[in-house]
Structure formats: C-alpha cells, structure tokens
Structure 1
Amino acid sequence: MDILELDALELSSALERRDLSAREVMQATLARIEAVNGRVNAIVSLRDPDALLAEAAAADNSPRGGWMHGIPIAIKDLANAAGLPTSQGSPIFAGQMAVQDDLPVARIRAAGAIVIGKTNTPEFGLGSHTYNPVHGATTNPYDPARSCGGSSGGAAAALATRMLAVADGSDMMGSLRNPAGWNNVYGMRPGWGTVPGEPAGDLFLHQLATAGPMARCPADLAALLDTMAGADPRQPLSHGQAATLPQLADDLPPQRIGWLADWDGALPFEDGLLDVSAAALARMGGLGHEVAPVHAPFESGAIWDSWITLRSFAVAGGARALHESPDTRAMLKPAAIWEIERGLALSAMDVQRASEIRSDWFRKAVALFASYDVLVLPSAQMWPFDVTLDYPKEIAGTKMDTYHRWMQVVIPASLLGLPVVNIPAGFGQNGLPAGLQLIGPKGSEARLLQLAQQWHEATRWPQKRPPVI
C-alpha cells in the first residue's frame, strides 16, 4: 500500500480498520515533505517532527474522533491555527502566534485531523500568485520555474506532490480554483454562508470571500466541505445544508451545460487553453450531458467595475489600520496599498452603484440557470507564468491594467457568491495542467460535486498524471 497515493477517505478507512497507524501515516508524510518541499516550498511553519510523531501515536491510542482522525493537514497561512504562526505572508505578522483556531480550523481539528503546519499564500492573499517576503515563492510541481497560482497555492502544490491528502483554502478571486487548475487537483468555492469564517469584524457587508476544500478527488472535497460547513449562530448570513458526501452515490440526470468560453471575446486567453477546455467539454458531452455555447449574458466591463469597487471596499475595510500607521504601511506590498487607497477613496454611492450592478447580474444569472444547470468557464486565462514575476502584465498581447486583471475569468461567480467546483481539464502541448470552473446556482453544491465525481471516475487526471518531482 502506497500511503501517499491514498485519497483522504481511503486513508480514513485504512486508519479505521487499523490497516495503517496514524504514526505510519505521519512518518510517510514527514518523509515526503523532507524529500520534495525544498523544491516547491508549499508547506511552511512545519511543526517539530518528534512532536508530530508523538501526536500521531497518541491518536493511535485514543478513541476515533471523526473521519479525519490521525490524518495530517496543513492550514492555509491566512487562517489561525492555535500554536502556529499566522504570517498572512506579511512581515507585519511574521512570527505572530495564534492563540486559538478560526472556526473552520476548529471544525477540522474536531474531526480528528493533526495540524502539522501551514501552507504558503501571497501576502494577505492578494494576487493569484503565491509569493511573499516571509516564506518566499511556492513553485509549480509541473514546472518549478513557474507559478503555482494562488492564493491557496501552497495547498494545491502540497496536494499535487502528495505531501497532503486533503487541504483547506479560501477564495475571494479564484484562490480555490486557479491553483487547483494549475496543479491538476480539485478545488471548491462553496456558496456564500455555507462555510462561515471566524466571526470577527464586520458580519454583513463584505460577502466576497469564503473558505473551502481542496483535494485530489471530489469525494474528499465533499467530506471536507461537510466538515467545514454548517450554520454558526454568531454569523447572520451563515446557513446549514444537507451533507453532500452521501449524495455522491445518487444518480445524476443529464445536465444542461452552458459553455461561456471567452465571454464573446471580452476575455483574452493564451493559446491552447480554450482548446483544452473544448476537448474536456466534448468528453463531458460523451458522458451523456448536453453542452451548448452561451453568448455573454452580461456586460463584462460592468461585472469588472462592480467587482473591483466591492473588493477594494472590502480590503480597505479590513486593512485600513495597517495603512494608517507609517511603520506598517512601509511593509505593505504595492498591490495592498493600491487596494486600500482605492477603497478609502470610494464614496457610499460608489459602493451602492457597484452593488446595484451586482444585483442586476444576479437577476440575469438566475434567469440563465432556468435554461442551464451548470455554467462553465476556464479556471484561468493563461498557463502558469514565470515564478519570478510579480504578476502578468499582458495576455496574448492585451495589456493588464491592474495586478489582478489577468484573473477576470473567475469574477462572474465570485461577485454573486455562487458555488463553483474546479475540475482538472487536462494538459496543454506545453505539458502544463488546466482546469474548468463548474458554476451552479445557489444551493447546488451537492449537484456540482456529483458532476465532478462522475468526471473524476471517467478521467482521474490527478492519479493518471501526477507531477514528476
């Protein structure tokens, strides 16, 4: 049995049957980290190996706490995990130790997981490229000269290289989707309120980001989603939902799939990406689903303007104190300063207009889902780029006017808080992986996971083509 090739639920079953011990799993995990992490830099703030082996041995001699009992996990370095530093990729917070778990992390621990360290992220999670001045850059396992994406880039690279069987992440602007696509794994952005975060700060206005799961198969996505999800009475917009994992066994009727492609030419793409996407959709059609092209349902520039207004408003709301102090402002990267200063300059009516555009787009999307069960877009507009860049300045000759414009393809779903599952779509002639976003209406998490599971059973891309490292 190759421990590191097991999916998380397979690992859980082997531990429950005592075919494996948690100590054996931890030994294999630590050996893999020692062998490959130096080349990708995905796991940071790793705990003392002797302490981890002792914790695993204790798990072997204690009652089973949940499906993750004895399974190692590293937490994205934007979230607090008690006893570990939460740098957020910023020198401002480097070495700051968390005294308690954030809510999603607490739920993961309660399911029995052993937290071994953190996964790398961009500074404050800004920009879909995992590099920062505290821990450095995380590279792509399929080509270490290229970016792994972000901001859950460390999690995606750790999954691809078999350092983790399952991982948490978070997503504002594609952070659970772009790195999943670029690392040939699965990532899921749940609908708003499905996975409540830590109940701190404003609880009403800034509904753009959410935590969610990443894995090498959809069943593990479902299992971790069910662990992280659930209403929290301290958070007014959180809600409960039926467990998704049991629903994967249900029959999935043929789905009406709408292919949005390049949004009628509004989104530039590097050569080969749309070809890989079209080939994947043709294969999905061969599974019995109806795939049809969809004309751009809403003006892309309006979606973009609404998004960058609400995003800057949210970033400024959370980080304005860091900007107000000259000492901490000097340690902020330019993208953070740009976002904060844009947000501080907004008027209340600017925010109102952005929300009105979002509301118009939501109404249009609801009408669109009357004709289609699932909408599909690529996970990124370009292949993994040079890891030494701060961000791509152009795509296929089109200049990018912001540090994040190159990820515009993810915002139609992000702006509305819709559930999205990234599925591996295959590989380009350059040998690099790509992904597809499966976007559903509010409350469709289980159905999206069913479709992803069917796709996985037909393709098994993460198992069929792991990175050679």
Structure 2
Amino acid sequence: MASDQELVRATACAIVDKLNTGEVTPLDLLDVLERRIAEVDGKVNALPTLCFDRARDHAKTLMKKPIGDRGLLAGMPIPIKDLVNVEGVRMTQGSPIFKDAISERSDLVVEHLENTGGVVYAKSNTPEFGAGANTFNEVFGATLNPWDLSRSAAGSSGGAAVALATGTAWLAHGTDMGGSLRNPASFCGIVGMRPSIGRVAHTPSATIDRNLTVHGPMARNVEDLALLLDAMSGEHPADPLSLPVPQISFLSAARSGNKPKRIAYSPDLGITPVDPEVAAITRKAASRFAEAGVIVEEAHPDLREAHECFHVLRAFDFAMTKAALLRTKRDLLKPEVIWNIEEGLRLTVEQIARAEAQRVEMTARTVEFFKTYDLLLTPATIVAPFPIGNRYVAECAGKKFDNYVEWLAIVYAITLACCPALSLPCGFTASGLPVGLQMVTAPRGEAQLLAGAKALEDILGLRGTTPIDPRPAP
C-alpha cells in the first residue's frame, strides 16, 4: 500500500480507483485520515466532531459486498457539514443551543451519499446556523485558514474547505446560500460548486420549496468535484424538487474536452466594489481562456435588484426557520442571527412579493444572457482572506457596507438567478493568499460548467497546489 503522504496527496479519483482495484480498503483510508487529523487539525479546527467508530462499522458492512457493488464512491470517506443530520452523530449547527444534540436520523443527502459508497467520518465546522461568511462559533471556536493561520477560511462551509486544503479529506459536503461553498473554496484554494436547484436531493425543512440554500460538492480539483456531484445527484420522492440523474455523468462531462465558445468576464456584476488586486488576478485568469480560442468579452446580466431581493428573502428564511429560537433562546444567539430573524419578522407580504418578483426578473434576464455567452466569470470573493478577528468584511475599495452580508453580493446575486456556479483556484495575491474565480452558467448547465472549468484549470496549471500543511502568519 502507498504511504500515508502519498495517499493524502492523491486525487479523489485516484483513491476511488485504488478502492476499486483493492489496493486500499475503506478501513485503510480511515486510518490514514485519523493520523492526518491528529497531525494537522489541531492547528486549523476544521473537523471538530469525529465519528470514526461509526465510520468503521459502516466500512466493514460495505466491505462485505463485492468491490463492484459498493457504489460509485466505493468506500470513500467524506465529512458532512455540521448543519446536516447524520444519524447517531452530534449536530451542533455551531450553536450553544444545540451543543449536545444527537441526530436521530440522517438527512436524505447523507443517506444518498452512504448508499453510493460514501463513509461519513466527521462533521465539518460552520458558523452558527451558517450565518456569516467567517467560520467561528461559540461551541468549537474558529476555523483558521491553512495558507495563513491568522486569516479567515470564509464560510459557512469553512471547515469542509480547510479539511480539503490540509489533506484531512479527499472530498467534502457543503451547503450554499449566499456563497457558503464558493467563498471558502476561494479563500482556501480548492473547488466548490453550488449546483442547480434540485440537483442534490435533501430533506425539506420549513417549506417544500425553500431553495435559496442547496447542497453541493467540494474537492481539490474539477474532476474530483464532478465525481462527488455524480455521487450526490439523483431524485427522491421526499424532495419533490429533486432532479433525475443525467444520462451522461458529470465526470464524463468534465473530461469531455469541450470548451466554451464565448465567455463573459465581469469584475463586479455592476453591483459591488472589488479589491483591485483580486480584480486583476481574476481578470488575468479569465483572459487566458483566449489561449484555447475562446472569445472573452466584458459583460454581465442586469442584477441591479440583488441587494434588496436577497436581504428580504434571506431575512424571510431566517424568520421561518429560527423565530421560535428568538422567542425562547435569544440570549444564546449571536447578534447577526438575531438581526436576521428580526428583519424577517418585520417584513410585510408586499415586501416578500416584491422580492420574489425581482428574483423572477433577474433569473429571466440571466437566462437570456446565457443565450449569448456560455459562461460568466467573476471574482468568487471580492477580497482576499481577511484577518480571523474580523467578524465580516465591513469595507472594500473605499465603500462601507450597510450590513454583514452585503460584501457577498457577487455570489448571492448568482444564487438569486438560480444558476449553478463554482469557485476555481485562479491565482495568489502578492502575500501568497489564494484567489478564486467564480464560474457561472445557465440553470441545469452543470455539465457545460464542469467542462469549461476543467479547460481553464488545465490552462492555469494550479491543480495540485493542495493539500498543504498549515502555515503560520508570515
């Protein structure tokens, strides 16, 4: 068997190949991960809840089946974000209210991953209820960016991104509302995708059609991301919005060699300030598509209503899901969560109707935009990783933000337009911090998105920059 270091650095696709040939077993991989976590996780706090006994029991059951019958992931270990139920495992949601809660039943997305050969061994850290794109909470503390331990890993899937970046995961589950997959992917130098609504079935909560948040894959490179999306995809009757598995796998699409004909780049979508260094790095990366004969132009759809629309719909979501906690546990909620819930409770029906109409219009305009362009490229995050002591980005390029989520407009506008999007590593700042490029396509266009991302990944030559050992501040 390969050494621990060789396995930690291997791609997820290579690991699954080793599982399918019998070169390694799921139990071998769990041993490797347990040793790697002991070595590095104390420095970054990515995976605060471990469930290796449960994982080994599941792995042993899986290994009773012939190798070819173990599912697409064939026994690949996967961490689940600590906002999602895993049967028999602690789920805190980053909140003191639930610090001792044990899940009685797994979410559909976890059941599906386990049925396709995934083995759950850990829960990844998240901010309280996923609120705020900086991963810290009162239960486990902060998750630190391994490229510079004085910096934020973003959020809310920060623990998942850091696990990938430090080699304590080959693949990871995440969720995304206002960039919760894409921001940490950008800050940590890995790949994270927000899929189309319904692509990944999950257990409905609050409302059947609650769709600002979706579940999605995170990985170190595009092919690995596509592999996990294949394993996560599929319809389920308990999630009426879920979509069937496509005829051609997402991994095949990523490997197809297909390239976009015409792409658009926008530094700001016309709605947000952007750090000049981040804008320059992402613009340079986007322009390199021209090396493959792709037409690159500067353009973006009209998303001018994004701030008002997202503010209303996000607040409404918090009111629906957390109002009872405000009434009974207010003293245990962080200020940002209280603000979100109270904003939601003050909404009128007219405000909600206006926001829903705005979302319809923005989606229609964006779909029309993609009749001209195959892909839209922007910065995935408008700043480089910021100091961990800052709760959020309060100012960028001379503009002060009105609230703690406005700095996320470049990703939440894409959420509102119902588009799949991913963050691809595209370069580094002068101080060596990762920068991600957001790549977007029309709804249900994941295959085209993955093919385009793989083409640019090949051109940029940044594949394999992770995993790394955690690095202290310079």
Q: Quickly name the TM-score band, shorter chain normalised.
A: over 0.9
| Structure 1 residues 155-202: Cα deviation after superposition (integer angstroms, max 9, x where no partner) | 000001010000010000001101001111110100111112213331
The equivalent position to 1:27 in structure 2, one of 23, 28, 31, is 31
Q: Does 1:259 align with 2:260?
A: no
- Residue type of the partner of 1:315? F
- Residue type of the partner of 1:262? D
Instruction: Please state whether the residue corresponding to 2:121 is helix, strand or coil.
Output: strand
Q: Does 1:84 align with 2:85?
A: no
| Structure 1 residues 443-465: Cα deviation after superposition (integer angstroms, max 9, x where no partner) | 10011011112223333424136
Instruction: Answer whether contact 1:298 1:361 (CA < 8 A) is retained.
Output: yes
Instruction: Answer whether contact 1:254 1:288 (CA < 8 A) is retained.
Output: no
Aligned residue runs from structure 1 range 223-242, under 5 A: 223-242=227-246
| Structure 1 residues 131-172: Cα deviation after superposition (integer angstroms, max 9, x where no partner) | 000111000010010000110000000001010000010000
Distance 1:156 1:40 in 2: 11
Match of 1:203 in 2: 208
Instruction: Tell me: CA distance 1:92–1:454, structure 2 relative to 1, closer, same or farther (3 Å).
Output: same
Match of 2:319 in 1: 316
Shift of 1:288: 2.3
Distance 1:68 1:232 in 2: 19
| Structure 1 residues 367-400: Cα deviation after superposition (integer angstroms, max 9, x where no partner) | 2111111111111111111112211221122112
Shift of 1:271: 3.2
The equivalent position to 1:98 in structure 2, one of 81, 100, 103, is 103
Shift of 1:299: 5.2
Match of 1:384 in 2: 385
Aligned residue runs from structure 1 range 391-430, under 5 A: 391-430=392-431
Q: Aligned-pair RMSD on alpha carbons?
A: 1.7
Q: Does 1:303 align with 2:309?
A: no
Instruction: Please state whether the residue corresponding to 1:388 is helix, strand or coil.
Output: coil
Aligned residue runs from structure 1 range 293-372, under 5 A: 293-294=298-299, 297-298=301-302, 300=304, 302-325=305-328, 328-372=329-373
Shift of 1:55: 5.3
Distance 1:329 1:452 in 2: 43
Shift of 1:240: 1.7
Instruction: Tell me: CA distance 1:121–1:460, structure 2 relative to 1, closer, same or farther (3 Å).
Output: farther
Distance 2:144 2:463 in 1: 18
Instruction: Tell me: CA distance 1:418–1:299, structure 2 relative to 1, closer, same or farther (3 Å).
Output: closer
Aligned residue runs from structure 1 range 47-58, under 5 A: 47-48=51-52, 52=55, 56=59
Shift of 1:57: 5.3
Match of 1:246 in 2: 252
Instruction: Please state whether the residue corresponding to 1:27 is helix, strand or coil.
Output: helix
Instruction: Answer whether contact 1:423 1:438 (CA < 8 A) is retained.
Output: yes
Distance 2:314 2:99 in 1: 25
Match of 1:175 in 2: 180
Shift of 1:362: 1.6
Instruction: Answer whether contact 2:185 2:423 (CA < 8 A) is retained.
Output: yes
**TM-score, normalising length from structure 1?**
0.94
| Structure 1 residues 24-43: Cα deviation after superposition (integer angstroms, max 9, x where no partner) | 22221111100000011001
Q: Does 1:220 align with 2:224?
A: yes
Instruction: Answer whether contact 1:255 1:374 (CA < 8 A) is retained.
Output: no
Match of 2:122 in 1: 117
Shift of 1:60: 4.3
Instruction: Please state whether the residue corresponding to 2:240 is helix, strand or coil.
Output: coil
- Residue type of the partner of 1:258? A
Distance 1:148 1:102 in 2: 26
Q: Does 1:127 align with 2:132?
A: yes
Instruction: Answer whether contact 2:260 2:374 (CA < 8 A) is retained.
Output: no
Shift of 1:74: 1.2
Instruction: Please state whether the residue corresponding to 1:168 is helix, strand or coil.
Output: strand
Instruction: Answer whether contact 1:184 1:461 (CA < 8 A) is retained.
Output: no
- Residue type of the partner of 1:148? A
Instruction: Please state whether the residue corresponding to 2:332 is helix, strand or coil.
Output: coil
Structure 2 gap ranges (5+): none
